[in-house]
Structure 1
Amino acid sequence: MSERKSNVIVIGGGTMGGDIAVTFAAGGWDVRVVSPSQKTRDALPSRIGAGLKRLSVSAGEAGNVSACSRLEDIDWQHVDLVIEAVTEDLNLKQKLFMQIESLAGPNVPLASNTSNFQISEICKTLKHRARFLGIHFFMPAHLVPLVEIIGGNDTDPGLVKSMCVLMKKLGKAPIVVKKDIPGFVGNRIQHAMMREALYLMEEGAVSAEDVDIAVRFGFGFRFLACGPILQKEMSGWDTNCRAGNAIYPHLHNEATFPVSMKKMVDQGNVGMKTLHGVWEWTEESAAKEKARIEQILQTGLEIIHNDLKKIDG
């Protein structure tokens, strides 16, 4: 009799949930995706197939992926992990996990892929908070190695460690966020850069096109080889200290999104999803651009493969 494969439940089959499903399937896990959307469920097989192909994993090596519309359709006796990846709505997440807690066994780890809300806030109404934590993937989740593991005030520290081990087995580069802070680590660093870029655009200092060129072909290019701390170890903290003292007083520290960008969002122009954003898109041009980006990310994964193996060690 063959050994039962590990089984993960992914709640939400959208942008993040679908790619999280690919990640676990590539690692040999059986995956059950829960989505009320018939369109999302119908698109899942082709999406999983394309993701596995991108990771060079054959269907025979991968776990089985299936979809259902309701939590009640799951065989909860054979669940090893639950990951929620629904809309960033705190009330929705809290209600969802209360329902999950009534269905899942008491020892099943429950995780949120939230990119913003504090873990302790999401699980505050649960009875068994020791098994609750954050497992935050970055888009596209099947290609980007970074995963943040975040414990709440009541999370079992052993669970945080075991999830780090699991993520390494899945080919990821996990980090432990030691404080349950809004936005965690990756997004806080990213949004600090984004705020400066958007306000530089707002005041007419640079175009959107040139922001992307500056990041991709400047300091962003270096990040494939080393992070910002190691880079300054090489260049010297004395130089960075002088530069920081000169530049920091002029950096933007506004507490809100730039007016022009907020107006664009309020008008429903949010980017590729609506075919209108900073730039205009068609279904074809958006698909072509996404494919180009995924191809470059795949090549990047191959370049840093040995460094990822060192993290696994």
Structure 2
Amino acid sequence: MSRQRVAVVGAGRMGHGIALTYALAGHPVRLTDADDAILESSSERIATALDTLVQGGRITETEADAALDNISRADEIESAVADADFVTEAVAEDLAIKQAVFAELDSHAPPDALLATNTSGLSIDDIADPVENEARVLGTHWFNPPHIVPLVEIVKGTATSNRAVETVRDLLASADKTPVVVQKDIPGFIGNRIQAAMSYEAFSLLARGVATPEDIDRAVKAGFGFRLPILGIFEKMDQSGLHIHHEVEKQLMGELDRGRDPNPVITELLEEGHRGTETGKGIYDWTDVDLERETRDRDRALLSMLDLYESAVDDSPPANYDRT
């Protein structure tokens, strides 16, 4: 794909990794953030990510230097997006904030630039509301860390054009991502809906004293999670036999937790001030953990998984889907 001028609005946890991904693919990227401190610190975070990629053998020092040369920074949205072909918003998961950003994008980005939001589950239609031409707005939902995890969900709003979807699919493919198209703008899209259903049941098992957090995590990582990069949910069902899965569902569905509100275990932890690593405690106690080292070790392990994914996984389905 030809070089596209990319702008990323929001340089925090996701934005800096998204910018890095496009820069590694050879696209010039302009990064901006309303918070000067976050924008400034993005340089260090990008450098750390590049070092991990180099140490993991994914890129060379020369490629890392080229990626850095592709990234520039702007103090304001107006200058960041003025000549962009494609803009990705990666600000806080707050509808009002995102709508305010998209109002600015509509005013300052070129009228033919495509505008994407990295929302985890907010409505694309709602986010696109301030934009006059909603056909150019779509979702690109990345997964953390974005410069390593292959999947990006392309989410169509009601007015999103097919041209926008195909253009962004090609752009993501040029950055070695695995794009999937979410045809309907539903809360949580694909990945987060499945992940939320799994985590809710995991919290239920924890609350009922069925197992410790450590053993629940081990069961996921060493069991079905071990297979998932090779066998997706439907591939696994077909290979095991739908009749077997049907019998399991008959016995199990009435036992699964079907709460309609956020899991009370999370609510209780939040009320106690425990938010996870940022406060030192969540499900686990992170007080004495070197979080920078933990993140580096996590990313190196994920890079090993990425090598396996690229060498062993065929993105195409094993057979045509046929429900006739």
TM-score (norm 2): 0.89
Instruction: Measure the CA separation in 1 of the matches of 2:263 and 2:41.
Output: 36
Secondary structure of 2:257's match?
Answer: coil
Instruction: Measure the CA separation in 1 of the matches of 2:288 and 2:160.
Output: 43
Q: Deviations over 1:165-205 (max 9, x none)?
A: 21111111111101110110010001010110011111221
Instruction: Measure the CA separation in 1 of the matches of 2:279 and 2:207.
Output: 22
8 A Cα contact 2:151 2:179, kept in partner:
yes
Instruction: Measure the CA separation in 2 of the matches of 1:81 and 1:25.
Output: 13
How far off is 1:310 after superposition? 5.5
8 A Cα contact 1:130 1:155, kept in partner:
yes
How far off is 1:135 after superposition? 0.5
Partner of residue 255 from structure 1, selected from 257, 260, 266: 260
The aligned counterpart of 1:67 is 73
Instruction: Measure the CA separation in 2 of the matches of 1:60 and 1:67.
Output: 16
The aligned counterpart of 2:10 is 12
Residue type of the alignment partner of 1:121: D
Instruction: Measure the CA separation in 2 of the matches of 1:91 and 1:43.
Output: 25
How far off is 1:163 after superposition? 1.1
How far off is 1:309 after superposition? 7.3
How far off is 1:72 after superposition? 2.8
The aligned counterpart of 2:36 is 38
Partner of residue 194 from structure 1, selected from 175, 193, 199: 199
Inter-CA distance 200–95: structure 2 relative to 1 (3 Å threshold): same
Identity %: 34
The aligned counterpart of 1:91 is 96
Instruction: Measure the CA separation in 1 of the matches of 2:9 and 2:214.
Output: 36
Q: Deviations over 1:97-130 (max 9, x none)?
A: 0111000111000000001111111112321101
Instruction: Measure the CA separation in 2 of the matches of 1:258 and 1:265.
Output: 11
Shifted more, 66-75 versus 106-115: the winner is 66-75
TM-score (norm 1): 0.93
How far off is 1:68 after superposition? 2.7
* Unmatched 5+ stretches in structure 2: 317-324
Inter-CA distance 75–261: structure 2 relative to 1 (3 Å threshold): closer
8 A Cα contact 2:230 2:313, kept in partner:
no
Residue type of the alignment partner of 2:170: V
Q: Deviations over 1:22-65 (max 9, x none)?
A: 11111111211111223322222222223234142523442521
Partner of residue 59 from structure 2, selected from 38, 51, 56: 56
The aligned counterpart of 1:123 is 128
Q: Deviations over 1:209-230 (max 9, x none)?
A: 1111010001000012111111
Secondary structure of 1:10's match?
Answer: strand
Secondary structure of 1:148's match?
Answer: strand
State the superposition RMSD in angstroms: 1.8
Q: Does 1:26 align with 2:21?
A: no
The aligned counterpart of 2:211 is 206
* Unmatched 5+ stretches in structure 1: none
Q: Does 1:291 align with 2:296?
A: yes
Secondary structure of 2:30's match?
Answer: strand
Residue type of the alignment partner of 2:48: A
Instruction: Measure the CA separation in 2 of the matches of 1:42 and 1:154.
Output: 36
Count residues with an aligned counterpart: 307
Q: Deviations over 1:132-166 (max 9, x none)?
A: 00011011111100110011111111211221121
